[in-house]
Amino acid sequence: AQTVTQSQPEMSVQEAETVTLSCTYDTSENNYYLFWYKQPPSRQMILVIRQEAYKQQNATENRFSVNFQKAAKSFSLKISDSQLGDTAMYFCAFMKHGSQGAQKLVFGQGTRLTINP
């Protein structure tokens, strides 16, 4: 069974600093997707970034980038020039194939990130 592990329950950095959130996963599949979702206090789940396992190039979205190490099954998120609005829970998620083409997400436990002014 696929599992996703986030080993940092909480992190805290100063505004404008760079922070890296860790995620490891376990799977026997070769083709899959990995995601980072942000959940601010509003509870809304917001997609931050996505990585296709068949792509060697790490995904980037503005200040957000990932370090995808397929052999090590590691998928960390780097936030550069952190802003107060980045304060949220961050969830790493693995997408696995379900029946009839459904794509099911398996989530990690989350990392609570606080950006201090």
Partner 1 sequence: NAGVTQTPKFRILKIGQSMTLQCTQDMNHNYMYWYRQDPGMGLKLIYYSVGAGITDKGEVPNGYNVSRSTTEDFPLRLELAAPSQTSVYFCASGKLATSYEQYFGPGTRLTVT
Q: How far is CA 6 from CA 56, 85, 111, in A?
A: 22, 21, 7
Query: How many residues belong to the site for partner 1 (CB under 8 A)?
Result: 24
Q: Indicate whether 7 belongs to the interface with partner 1 (CB under 8 A).
A: no
From 11-19, 68-76, 79-87, 101-109, give the range in contact with partner 1 by CB under 8 A.
101-109
DSSP SS3 for 58 = coil
Task: Choose which of 4, 23, 59, 66 interacts with partner 1 (CB under 8 A).
Answer: 4
> Backbone phi, then psi, for 21, in 5-degree steps?
-105, 135
Q: Tell me which of 108, 115, 116, 117 binds partner 1, using CB under 8 A.
A: 108
How far apart (Å, rounded) are the C-alpha atoms in residues 13 and 28? Answer: 35
Between residues 99 and 117, which has the closer beta carbon with respect to partner 1? 99
Question: In sequence order, what are the residues at sequence separation of 6 or more whose Cβ sits closer than 8 angstroms to the Cβ of residue 50?
Answer: 33, 34, 35, 59
Q: Which of 41, 85, 98, 117 binds partner 1 (CB under 8 A)?
A: 98
Residues 31-90 that bind partner 1 (CB under 8 A): 33, 42-45, 47, 50
Give whichever of 102 and 117 is closer to partner 1, judged by the CB atom: 102
Alpha carbons 64 and 29: distance in angstroms, whole number: 26
